[in-house]
Amino acid sequence: MEGLFFLTIKQPRLRRGTRGEQTMKVAVVGATGLVGTKMLQVLAERNFPVTEIIPVASERSVGKEVSFKGKAYKVVSMEDGIAAKPAVAVFSAGGNTSLEWAPKYAAAGIRVIDNSSAWRMDPTKKLVVPEVNANVLTANDFIIANPNCSTIQMVVALQPLHLKYKIKRVVVSTYQSVTGTGKKAVDQLFNERKGVEGEMAYKYPIDLNVIPQIDVFLDNGYTKEEMKMVKETNKIMQDDTIRVTATTVRIPVIGGHSESVNIEFENDFELNELKTILANAPGIIVQDDLANQVYPMPLWAHDKDEVFVGRIRRDETQPNTLNMWIVSDNLRKGAATNAVQIAEYLLAANLIG
């Protein structure tokens, strides 16, 4: 049955105000959560042309207030979010909610950008990182998937190198912020740091510890998070020949995810040329000044939209192979900013507005 709702899709409405100005309604679904709050912040900071914000959340949050550009807005229900007829709805409310409600929003002519894992590997849905593959979006795409945070920052750095040297294999180990789990995990970290008893987001303490498990284990011994990085990378970069293997780890930091990435290319590279390619690529800031001990860290990436790349060096154990270190704020580029950038692309391509 999925797909049939596209037959009844209406075009999103861009209304004109009393003075003839255009109005852009934007819904943020899951507006009271960590990522939803960050989406509101990013929409404001990037000056997305919102003339009416519609914060949407579960029934238990209806009536609460959220702030957008200094003004308070009351949270509305999922049904009222549809009735408000926004041009675009940015979802960050979990996979089950998205599976139920994204098709309903899409059927009403509302472009949905979904931050959950619900639609990422659906072959009928686009999985988009704007710096890599925004050009795949068309007028027929009413549910667009936002990739996993760890995948987003990695492919931003991989894509310009793949275009030049062709990537054969990627080995990635991640060092992921507790913010990727949510507020409960942040509270656990700081409770432990203060010696306060509290609710546990993880089976084990996270302060002064490293947990080599993110999400559940699968039959092959990898976690679901690790396999997301494998499959999503191939889909976003539109190349199933790239082999990816991942180990994902939770560490006691906030501010962003870090990744140690080893890349084997089909073609050899000259290191200075490769660094120049990265420095000129959209969305990347190279921090690779070893003499002054300058390299990417979550401390510097926090609350920024870019992907930071450093420790760029040749792997001396085999030909055509590179090591580098990638850091990005997982709540911004890894979630909210990437979703807003998709909306920006839709607007520029006249697919909304």
Q: Quick: pLDDT tens for 293-304.
A: 999 999 999 999
Known active-site residue 257: yes
Pull the structure tokens for residue 197. Answer: 């008893």
158 plus 65 within the same structural domain: no
Answer whether residue 346 is part of any domain: no
The answer to whether 129 is a known catalytic residue is no
Boundary residue ending a domain (118, 135, 160): 118
Going by DSSP bridges, is the β-strand pair 71-74/25-29 parallel, antiparallel, or unpaired? unpaired
CATH number, domain with residue 160: 3.30.360.10
What pLDDT score does 17 carry?
37
Range of the domain at 257: 150-330
pLDDT of residue 353: 75
User: Are 96 and 209 in the same domain?
Assistant: no
Block means of pLDDT (10 residues each) for the chain, 353 residues, are 30 37 84 95 96 95 96 97 98 96 98 97 98 97 98 98 98 98 96 97 98 98 98 98 98 97 98 98 98 97 97 98 98 98 96 86
Residue 67 inside a domain? The answer is: yes
pLDDT for the residue 181: 96
285 within 8 A of 301, measured Cβ to Cβ:
no
66 lies in a domain? yes
Does residue 10 belong to any structural domain of this protein?
A: yes
Residues 199 and 273 occupy one common structural domain: yes
Report if residue 141 sits inside a domain.
Answer: no
The rounded distance, in Å, linking the Cα atoms of 76 and 56 is 5
99 and 225 co-located in one domain? no
- Give per-residue pLDDT as tens, 32-59: 999 999 999 999 999 999 999 999 999 9
Task: Name the domain count of the chain.
Answer: 2
d(CA 353, CA 349) in angstroms, rounded, equals 9
Q: Do the domain assignments include residue 144?
A: no
In a domain, 344, yes or no: no
Residues 189 and 77 in one domain: no
Asked if residue 265 belongs to a domain, the reply is yes
Least Cα distance to 154 among 172, 138, 141 occurs for 172
User: Catalytic pick from 149, 155, 214, 346?
Assistant: 149
The answer to whether residues 133 and 233 touch, using CB atoms and an 8 Å cutoff, is: no
- From 257, 302, 332, 333, the catalytic residue: 257
